[in-house]
Amino acid sequence: MSMNTYLLAHKTRQDIANSPPDLLVVPVGALEQHGPHLPVGTDTLHVETVAIRAAATASEIDVVVAPAVAYGCSDHHLPFGGTLSLSTATLLGVLRDVIRTAAASRFVRVFLLNGHGGNHEHVQIAARDGAQEFGVAVGAGSWWAMAQKAMIDSGGTDGVLLPGHAGGFETAVVASILDRPIEDLPGPSVSFGVTDPRNPKATFRTENPDGWSDSEGYTDDPGLLDIETGRRLLDVAVETVAADFVRFVNDTPLKGTRA
């Protein structure tokens, strides 16, 4: 079956009315520098890929995938150039409006699937507030966080920051999506000292205003993983995210809003 089958943008209003989906997935990415070797659309590229492939894999439910929100909170990457960013308030407003209009268009469940570390908290806040304000079930998660344990358990990630930024993991995943090796890889990062707010072992959050600008703009060695490992990790992630989509639908039964 064509991947286009799962794209909201390719459907008519009558398609949606005749066959209302169980779940609307909204990928949330970014447009920001990814070192000297990866495209600035990396986060949007991989989150869209995971969303569409997971929609196809979750065959027990009907899933449609909206066009990605391709701009995220990326001001910390502005010193490097090649970055367009939204403020926190603007991104939260965009996500609120997406949920608001999804509810008005009679979608009954929305999942904000995130692909950018700088959006990690934002999608969760938008889900919490949007569900209460608009009466629609909303899920939210970063695909690499949802699949992190499964990817680590699958092996081959020793010494790699997962997800990191433009390091071994992202470089291998992007290579697998583009189906070609990434050329002109820089050497290992030697100056990255930013505290990752997504680290579950951290007891508090540290934000250093100069942390990113004092680094090379990527977190670890981009050459640590090969394209086949990237492909395998992506497959593991797709399976995990698809299972989470199914669980989200099963855990949010309808209350008379749709037959």
Q: Between these two residues, 173 and 189, which has the higher pLDDT value?
A: 173
Q: For residue 2, is pLDDT > 60?
A: yes
For 136, other C-beta atoms within 10 Å of its C-beta total: 21
pLDDT number for residue 54: 98
| Whole-number Å distance between alpha carbons of 172 and 207 | 28
pLDDT number for residue 259: 36
pLDDT number for residue 44: 98
pLDDT bin (cut points 50, 70, 90) of residue 103 is very high
| Whole-number Å distance between alpha carbons of 248 and 137 | 9
- The widest CA-to-CA distance across the chain, in whole angstroms, is 57
Mean pLDDT of 202-217: 81
Mean pLDDT of 134-142: 97
CA angle 208-224-233, nearest 5°?
Answer: 95
Q: What is the pLDDT of residues 8-46, one digit of tens each?
A: 999 999 999 999 999 999 999 999 999 999 999 999 999
Name the nearest CA neighbour of 58 among 133, 116, 117, 113.
113
| Whole-number Å distance between alpha carbons of 155 and 229 | 9
For 238, other C-beta atoms within 10 Å of its C-beta total: 22
End-to-end Cα separation, the chain, in angstroms = 27
Q: For residue 258, is pLDDT > 60?
A: no
Return the DSSP state at 24: E
pLDDT bin (cut points 50, 70, 90) of residue 223 is very high
pLDDT number for residue 208: 79
pLDDT number for residue 105: 96
Q: What is the pLDDT of residues 142-187, one digit of tens each?
A: 999 999 999 999 999 988 989 999 999 999 999 999 999 999 999 9
Q: Which domains does the chain have, with CATH numbers?
A: 3-251 (3.40.50.10310)
* Rounded (10°) angle between helices 120-134 and 88-104: 40
| Whole-number Å distance between alpha carbons of 62 and 208 | 43
Mean pLDDT of 72-96: 97
Q: Between these two residues, 200 and 92, which has the higher pLDDT value?
A: 92
For 208, other C-beta atoms within 10 Å of its C-beta total: 12
Decide: 43 and 100 in contact? Cβ < 8 Å.
no
Output the six-digit token pair for 236. Answer: 């593991």
Q: Between these two residues, 134 and 193, which has the higher pLDDT value?
A: 134
Mean pLDDT of 50-70: 98
Q: What percent of the residues of the chain are helix, what percent strand, and what percent coil, each to the nearest 5?
A: 45, 10, 45
For 201, other C-beta atoms within 10 Å of its C-beta total: 5
How would you classify the pairing of strands 63-65 and 109-114? unpaired
